[in-house]
Structure 1
Amino acid sequence: MKDEPLLLTRRDPSRNMARFYMLTVEPDLFNGVALTRNWGRIGTKGRFRIELFGSRQEAEGRLAAIANRKVRRGYRMAPEG
């Protein structure tokens, strides 16, 4: 079962900045948990990274740490719709 992704965006027209950062925690094929990260300029596929963890709690802790860091740097929750 796959969880809903956390989508953060950062826009600053004066700097021509339009970025996204997407985080998802999901089970992997080996009874572990994967944290997938996808980031880049809005409108592109961006870059992609997968981190593997032994438990869901570890992966969600890492997700929270990354999300908090991004919010401190100006990212916001993307509006739904």
Structure 2
Amino acid sequence: MAKHFECREHWRAVDTARNIARDYQLTVTLDLFGWTVVERQWGRIGCNGKGARDSFPNAASARRFVDAVRSRRGSAKHRIGVEYRSVEEA
């Protein structure tokens, strides 16, 4: 059985010459019932974006989902021509 994990990640893809300013945030927490909750928010930097919340009965399935999200963000250079970079939060 996989151990519960929590994380908070924040990425941005910016190319001012091409008017690309994307923001993506991912948060993993544990709810009161023991389910692992993955919250995602995305959109243009400085604007209201969209979001989604997914719940998983165990940490292993949540980790697979998070790995798929990371993989998708990692392929941005190929897809949109700009890579996502981590944003350090204060």
The normalised TM-score by structure 2 is: 0.76
Over the aligned positions, Cα root-mean-square deviation in angstroms equals 1.9
Aligned to 1:30: 33
For residue 68 of structure 2, give the secondary structure of its aligned residue in structure 1: helix
Contact 2:6 2:30 in 1 (8 A): no
Aligned to 1:70: 73
Q: Which runs of 5+ in 1 are unaligned?
A: none
Note the C-alpha offset of 1:38: 0.4
Comparing 33-42 with 56-65, greater Cα deviation is found at: 56-65
Contact 1:8 1:78 in 2 (8 A): yes
The normalised TM-score by structure 1 is: 0.83
Q: Percentage identity across aligned positions? A: 32
> How many correspondences in the alignment?
80
Note the C-alpha offset of 1:25: 0.7
For residue 60 of structure 2, give the secondary structure of its aligned residue in structure 1: helix
